[in-house]
Structure 1
Amino acid sequence: MKIIPMSWGTNRLTIEDLNEEEIQTVQKLYEQGDYINKWDGRNLDKEYVYRCFTVGDLPPNGTKEQFKIQVIRMKASRLIVGILTTYHGYPKPETFYINYLYIDKEYHKQGLGQEVIHDLLRILKEKHYTEVRANVAIKNWPALRFWTKLGLNSINGIYGDKEHSMNAYAEIELIMEL
């Protein structure tokens, strides 16, 4: 199985598997991004990080061994500034799925998310993945701009409500061939 490293880094960041003692801290960071729920129609998951740590955020027939939740830290201070959850091998063995990426709002617009993804893409190529996917709420314009700018600009599908309305939601699955 081709799994990304437990610990890896960029120029300014260290990305490491979540430790149990960090669950509450990382859950607070996750909850900071609850504004996304107005775009995707979901409710805030008060157990998201714990669930990811214990059983994973899995696709149909997925296994915990192929899932990762990692924290993103500033190298200099070791301060946790982000979360990355991923799945290795869905829907095909050579596909890498980015479930969730969030950077602390205090660190937005500093290029940290781009830095993480640029290095992650390098690792995925070394591991011989052939594509990377991310699912984004259609109303989440900042995320759509972010992912398409990084090269995830092919649309695999649109899922969700069929009719547009203020209370309708849909997601778009973006793909990048590696």
Structure 2
Amino acid sequence: MRRFPAIWQTDRLQIEDSSLADTPQLMKIFNACSYVGKWDPTFQIEPEETFTELVTKSMKEGEENGRFQLQIIRQQASQQIIG
């Protein structure tokens, strides 16, 4: 099964597989986009347990995760998670 590399980068960004430690920041970024609810009636604020489940699923190897891979985006200079 082909997946993105666990870590890859551009001149300004570093993209890497997420870890459970990233869950609070991922949740904060996702919830900051709540304004899209005006255009997408399926959007809803999710509890932290949902994010933990997604990150855990992404960390599994092989077919059991259905090729699901959740990666974070960091700025190279600051190492801040931005997506």
Question: Is the pair's TM-score, using the shorter chain for normalization, greater than 0.5?
Answer: yes
* Structure possessing the higher relative contact order (Cα contacts under 8 Å, 6 or more residues apart): 2
**Helix, strand or coil at the partner of 1:28:** helix
Bigger Rg, which one = 1
Native 8 Å contact 1:20 1:53 kept in 2: yes
After superposition, the C-alpha distances for 1:114-152 in whole angstroms (9 at most, x for unaligned) are xxxxxxxxxxxxxxxxxxxxxxxxxxxxxxxxxxxxxxx
- Please report the RMSD computed on the Cα atoms of aligned residues, expressed in angstroms: 1.8
Query: How many residues were matched structurally?
Result: 77
TM-score for both structures, normalised by structure 2 = 0.79
**Percent identity for Structure 1 against Structure 2:** 31
Deviates more, 1:63-72 or 1:5-14: 63-72
List alignment gaps of at least 5 residues for structure 2.
none
Aligned to 1:34: 34
Q: Structure 1 runs of 4+ off > 6 angstroms? A: none
**Helix, strand or coil at the partner of 1:14:** strand
Aligned to 2:67: 66
Bigger proportion of residues as strand: 1
Shift of 1:35: 1.1
Aligned to 2:52: 50
List alignment gaps of at least 5 residues for structure 1.
57-61, 83-178
Shift of 1:13: 0.1
Query: Match for 1:16: what amino acid?
Result: E
Native 8 Å contact 1:37 1:44 kept in 2: no
Native 8 Å contact 1:7 1:14 kept in 2: yes
